[in-house]
Amino acid sequence: MNKFFVLGAMFALIGCASMSMTPSAQSGGMPKDGELAFPSDYTAFPTFLKGIQKPNAVRDLFINKTGAEAHKGKPFANGSVLVMEIYKAKKNPAGEFTKDSHGHLTKDGLAKVYVMQKGKGWGANAPKGLQNGDWIYSAFKPNGDRLDVEYAKCRTCHLPLGDAQDYVQRYDEYFDTREHSH
């Protein structure tokens, strides 16, 4: 067997493999939960809301340009990306949360990055009964590595917002804040 034959056989194999993958690659164009690409430039996105206070965390939310073109009372367009940064809150050496002069928790390290993104027909990839319109969810470490989480939980908690708020928790607050900042 000469090396050209081996190479030829390898290309034939690769060719077959990629051809047989075409049907799933097409549905693969529609990601499932956990399969979204990490939006590595999200810190340059417009702000959605900043400094959200949780009992043990601070959260900053971003929305991409497509999403930021939305209007209250309407759903976000396909191609919208929402990002939530979850920061640990600072503690003193005694392990108690410390607050700034406004009584707010302050950020310590960035712990996780949660993403939801919407595309045409993507809801078909969601588990039955847990469709949140066409939104798909993914959770990442700050460096973009994927986190292993139960995506049904994301869906269950965002589901009650319904079509009226497009499954976005801070829907009303976002549009109200945006209006008042003009």
The footprint of ligand HEC (CB under 6 A) covers: 52, 54, 59, 61, 82-84, 114-116, 137, 139, 149, 153-154, 157-158, 168-170
C-beta of 110 vs 149, nearer to ligand HEC: 149
- Helix/strand/coil for 176: helix
Cα distances (Å, whole numbers) of residue 71 to 75, 104, 125, 132, 165: 8, 30, 26, 19, 11
C-beta of 158 vs 178, nearer to ligand HEC: 158
C-beta of 14 vs 157, nearer to ligand HEC: 157
Q: Which amino acid is at 27?
A: S
Q: 């976000």: which residue's tokens?
A: 76
Strands in 107-118's sheet, in edge-to-edge order, are 47-54, 57-63, 81-89, 107-118, 135-140
Q: How far is the CB of 26 from ligand HEC (least distance, A)?
A: 25
Q: How far is the CB of 33 from ligand HEC (least distance, A)?
A: 8
C-beta of 52 vs 126, nearer to ligand HEC: 52
Rounded Cα distance between 36 and 96, Å, is 36
Rounded Cα distance between 3 and 19, Å, is 24
Q: How far is the CB of 6 from ligand HEC (least distance, A)?
A: 46
Q: How far is the CB of 54 from ligand HEC (least distance, A)?
A: 6
C-beta of 7 vs 127, nearer to ligand HEC: 127
Q: How far does CA 66 lie from the centroid of its chain? A: 14
Q: How far is the CB of 168 from ligand HEC (least distance, A)?
A: 4
